Amino acid sequence: MERADAPAPAAWRNLIVATIGFTLTFWAWDLIAPLGSDYHDRLGLTSVQQSLLVAVPVLAALLIRDRPDRAVPAGSLGQRLASAGRLRVTWELSALYAIGFGGIVAFGVYLPTYLRTGYGLTPTDAGTKAAGFALLTVIARPFGGWLADRVHPAVVTAGALAFVALLAIVQAFDPPLDPVGTVCLLCIAAGLGTASGSVFALVSQVTPQPQVGSVTGIVGAVGGLGGFVPPLVMGAVYSARGSYSIGFMLLSDLALAGCVYAYVRMRTVRGGAG
């Protein structure tokens, strides 16, 4: 029987990483979503959220173990992060993850407002559709990791972002919500979730092995922070123009740029590149 602390089979490694990301994303969404809704006090946490804040660290301490042959990195935390920050791939991956996961965070914060303002939905209807968007993003994330086990992660990322770019253009023309707008938004959710899963799979392939952990931390932080910029842009654009079309076209441009960069540059990078 395989030991509990044995490394995961290579064919399943990206799926396992993406599934962990799926769980954390779903948990984070439960914390973030009330910030953009009218249902809860903006600083309050439900009993489920409070339970998760306690349960997740406890489960991590009980179940997660390092590989027995793991090399312990030398140097302080600051030195390791500074070294990772000097790698070009750190910021390339951060930019790609900011598009994928940052887009998920942005829609989580702003989608209910967009549906109420752009389509005149009630807060309840807007919240229900936003929940469907959230569910699809977290389901698509393990799919991105699974696909990256079988196809180069850069190709998966490029394909997912190309899909997002195409659907964002369609949504920019303010199609009727039923069915075209709903389909577009759900497809964007699937594309962003797939891209965020495949980018994490890409980290281990293009990063020097001793620095994978530090790079992953920086990439995850930048991706999360990147999600709070688009809502500000969308709000400013709507205030100035009375339309969300420009915001969706900007999303399309950004996703297309990420698609081209992932396919042309990241597909050729190897783990020893700086």
Q: Is the pTM of this model over 0.85?
A: no
Q: What is the DSSP letter of 119?
A: H
Lowest-confidence region among 6-10, 54-58, 77-81, 129-133? 6-10
What pLDDT is attached to residue 23?
A: 53
What pLDDT is attached to residue 175?
A: 92
Helix axes 123-148, 153-172, angle to 10 degrees: 150
Predicted confidence (pLDDT) per residue in 211-262, tens digit: 888 888 898 888 878 777 877 787 788 888 888 888 899 899 999 999 999 9
Q: Is 48 exposed, middle or buried (0-12, 13-18, 19+ CB in 10 A)?
A: exposed
Q: Which of 257, 117, 245, 122 is nearest to 184 (CA)?
A: 245
Q: How far apart are CA 259 and CA 156, in angstroms?
A: 9
Q: How far, CA to CA in Å, does 15 sit from each of 63, 151, 160, 219?
A: 18, 12, 16, 18
Which of the two residues, 220 and 35, has the higher pLDDT score? 220
Which of the two residues, 25 and 268, has the higher pLDDT score? 268
What pLDDT is attached to residue 45?
A: 52
Q: How far apart are CA 48 and CA 231, in angstroms?
A: 26
Structure tokens, 216: 């992953």
Domain residue ranges of the chain, discontinuous segments joined by +: 11-64+77-266
Q: Give exposure, 53-92, as e/b (b: 16+ Cβ within 10 Å).
A: eeeeeeeeeeeeeeeeeeeeeeeeeeebbebbeebebbeb
Predicted confidence (pLDDT) per residue in 122-174, tens digit: 988 888 888 888 888 888 988 888 898 889 999 999 999 999 999 999 999 98
Q: Which of 60, 48, 57, 67 is nearest to 2 (CA)?
A: 67
What pLDDT is attached to residue 72?
A: 65
Q: Give exposure, 96-116, as e/b (b: 16+ Cβ within 10 Å).
A: bbbbbbbbbbbbbbbbbbbbb
Structure tokens, 62: 């009980």
Instruction: Specify the CATH number of the domain 11-64+77-266.
Output: 1.20.1250.20
Where does the pLDDT of residue 37 fall: very low under 50, low under 70, confident under 90, or very high at 90 and above? Answer: very low
